[in-house]
Amino acid sequence: MEILSQVHAANLVRWAKDKPEVLVLSGDLTAPTEAHLFRDAYPDRFFSMGLTEQNFMSVAAGLAREGFVPLVHTFGVFMYRRALDQIAISIAYPSLRVRMFGFLPGVTTPGGVTHQAIDDIAVLRGLPNLTLLECADATETASVLDAIHPLPGPVYVRMIRGDSVRLFPADEPLRVGQARVLSREGEITVFSSGACTEEALKARTLLAARGVALRHLHVSTLKPFDDPRLLEAAAQARRGLITMENHTILGGLGTATAELIAAHGLGVRLARLGIRDQFLHGASKPYLMREYGLDARALVRQVEALLHTDFAIGEDELAAVALGAAHSTAVA
């Protein structure tokens, strides 16, 4: 599978070239959030804001009020935890075109509890006017700027950095409000997001070899959560629906799915894979995904539980599973 490096850094420079209204604000994390090439290319549109998170969320709002589109770059935790009131009152309430790029979602950093955004969606979902997105691969990272630019209100993106896998074809960009239908067969439905989608794809490969198909949708728009594809796939989950997220199961994708099921009276059994109401600690992504049940293994075991079957998928198979590109079955 193709691995790309620093996708956002280069894309940001290319994308912002003909957009003089776009500014970048950085909270002393310029290279760590891949904003350094923008800084070097457009120094007049780059603002070093230091460690003043509450301040620069509000400053971004002021800039947006005057017609600029500020892209705020820092780690997610330092926005939604440190500056929640500023996001709510300065940005979300007036519904300003501020774009918040929250890096280091959940297990994607070994930085431990202070750096891992495990509850950003839960915290921010309750804010009116805010659109919440999550990037899962190089294609989504490279297309998210285009996807959100037309939105008239504020956007928070769970963003990835460094080396990223390409799960989705480069010509199938992220589209706001549209889940990717990756598989239409099977009596169990899986909704996965972010880093968990790659794991779900691995699990599907293993289960397919056992003759088990999963209906699989990748969710990049976490709010609004009104895509009819999701409702349709939930309604078809005869043997259960499994959500899988790099986030606490309280208030994120799993919760939104529970609300969808309940609101439509679907009566579908729901299993939520994700961080189970606990803090993580500093360790590698593969270790954390295994330890906290966010990996292909966890999905395999959950499918086995729903089907009351042991598929005898061993550790060697889990370790060896390789992926091809995940083509969406959806027609754009």
Binding site for other proteins (CB under 8 A): 47-50, 52, 54-68, 85-86, 89-90, 93-96, 128-129, 152-153
Least distance from C-beta 302 to other proteins, angstroms? 38
Largest CA distance in the chain: 61
**Closest distance to other proteins from the beta carbon of 64 (Å):** 8
Measured from the CB atom, the residue of 93 and 311 that comes closer to other proteins is 93
Q: Is the CB of residue 94 less than 8 Å from the CB of residue 152? A: no
Instruction: Tell me the closest approach of the beta carbon of residue 222 to other proteins, in angstroms.
Output: 19
Query: Which residue, 54 or 236, has its beta carbon nearer to other proteins?
Result: 54
Question: Toward other proteins, which CB reaches closer, 57 or 159?
Answer: 57
Nearer residue to other proteins within complex by CB, 61 or 260: 61
- Output the smallest distance, CB 155 to other proteins, in A: 13
Question: Inter-axis angle of helices 138-148 and 7-16, to 10 degrees?
Answer: 30
CB of 131 to other proteins, least distance (A): 11
If the CB atoms of residues 19 and 264 are measured against other proteins, the closer one turns out to be 19
Q: What is the gyration radius of the CA atoms in the chain, in angstroms?
A: 19
Taking the complex as a whole, the smallest distance from the CB of residue 57 to other proteins amounts, in Å, to 8
* Min CB(295)–other proteins separation in Å: 39
Instruction: Give me the helices (H) in the chain, please.
Output: 7-16, 36-41, 53-65, 76-80, 84-85, 120-124, 138-148, 195-208, 228-235, 253-263, 285-291, 296-307, 315-320
Helix (H) or strand (E) holding 93: none
What does DSSP say about strands 180-183 and 214-218: parallel, antiparallel, or unpaired? antiparallel
Question: What is the DSSP secondary-structure string of 171-210?
Answer: TS---TT--EEEE---SEEEEE-THHHHHHHHHHHHHHTT
Is the distance from CB of 180 to CB of 143 less than 8 angstroms?
A: no
Q: Which is nearer to other proteins, 24 or 118 (CB)?
A: 24
Compute the CA torsion angle 152, 230, 133, 62 (nearest 10 deg): 30
Per DSSP, the three-state class of 55 is helix
Nearer to other proteins, 96 or 280 (CB): 96
Please, what is the minimum distance in Å from the beta carbon of residue 66 to other proteins? 3
Nearer to other proteins, 47 or 168 (CB): 47
Nearer to other proteins, 90 or 141 (CB): 90
Closest contact distance (angstroms) between CB of 70 and other proteins is 8
Cα(332)–Cα(268) distance, rounded to whole angstroms? 28
Pair 234, 270: CB distance under 8 Å: no
Whether a cis peptide bond, with omega within 30° of 0, leads into 224 is: yes
